[in-house]
Structure 1
Amino acid sequence: MENLVKLVGLNIKEIRKAKKMTQDELAEKCGLQTSFLTGVERGDRNITIQTLEKIVIGLDESPKNIFNFENLTFNEEYYKKKEIITILINLFEDKNIEEARLILNIANEIFNTYKGK
């Protein structure tokens, strides 16, 4: 299963969009900062139950719908990327911290090289 925090965030975003609300509007209804809500929707913030309750009330939604992931859709590219990420994680698991840092540094150098082109 996907990371629960990310799935909840995606669901909040989809429900908000279905209700034709902006992030600013929902954040105001919830008493949250828009930047905080953006982090929630991206799955970057692990929120408390109290914060989740504010969002549920702001969306005027049933709490169970926040955890109903059946309507979320992911394109084929998403699944391919997730598979590659899983392979990379598996490659890292048996490495010590120095090896992991070296691999990370090499990857950053590669990304920086391609970014410049």
Structure 2
Amino acid sequence: MSELRQLIGTRIRAMRNAKGLTQQKLADIAGLDYRYIGALERGERNFSIDTLEKVLLALDVSINELTIVTGDDQDSVRQSAIDEFILNTSKLNNEHMKVIQKINSEIFRLI
């Protein structure tokens, strides 16, 4: 089994779970079979760029967000926080995002 395929599958599963989606719901949104999503998440299936694009669109994430790979427990906690942030901000408009950006900057200025 390809290590890259396994890493991508693991990230897809993590992002699906972070968004509260079942494999069936993700499959429905992406226009794929839920068994295919399961095999994709387990790294068992080769997939085309077109299929990956369908999954990313269904998850509403970019390729950049998908390819962040964790290496240790600290990275895992960091990645989980990033995934949660992406989920919580995914539907905000630009004005709200600017407010969050200011709050974030202020927090890190104080740390």
TM-score of Structure 1 vs Structure 2, range by shorter chain: 0.5 to 0.7
Where does residue 45 of structure 1 map in the other structure? 45
Q: Secondary structure at the match of 1:20?
A: coil
Residues 23-46 of structure 1 show CA distances to partners (whole Å, capped at 9, x for unaligned) of 000000000000011000000011
1:31 is aligned to: 31
Q: What is the one-letter code of the residue matched to 2:56? A: V
Aligned length in residues: 72
> TM-score scaled to structure 2, two decimals?
0.61
Which of 1 and 2 has greater Rg?
Answer: 1
| Residue of structure 1 in register with 2:13 after alignment | 13
Cα distance change, pair 72–63 in 1 and its aligned pair in 2 (3 A): farther
The AA in structure 2 aligned to 1:44 is E
- The normalised TM-score by structure 1 is 0.58
1:67 Cα deviation after fit: 1.1
**Unaligned stretches of 5+ residues in structure 1:** 74-117
CA contact (8 A) 1:11 1:72 kept: no
* CA positional deviation for 1:70: 2.2
Tell me, in whole angstroms, the C-alpha distance in 2 between the residues paired with 1:10 and 1:4: 10
Segments of structure 2 that go 5 or more residues without pairing to the other structure are 74-111
Identity of aligned residues (%): 36
Task: Report the Cα distance in structure 2 between the residues aligned to 1:26 and 1:55, rounded to whole angstroms.
Answer: 8
Aligned equivalents of 2:53 and 2:9: distance in 1?
A: 13
Query: Partner letter of residue 6 of structure 2?
Result: K
CA–CA separation in structure 1 for the residues paired with 2:23 and 2:58? 11
Looking at structure 1, the residues matched to 66 and 14 of structure 2 have their Cα atoms a distance apart, in angstroms, of 10
- Inter-partner Cα distance in structure 2 for 1:71 and 1:50: 28
Displacement over 3 Å in runs of 4+: none
Aligned pair 1:67/2:67, yes or no? yes
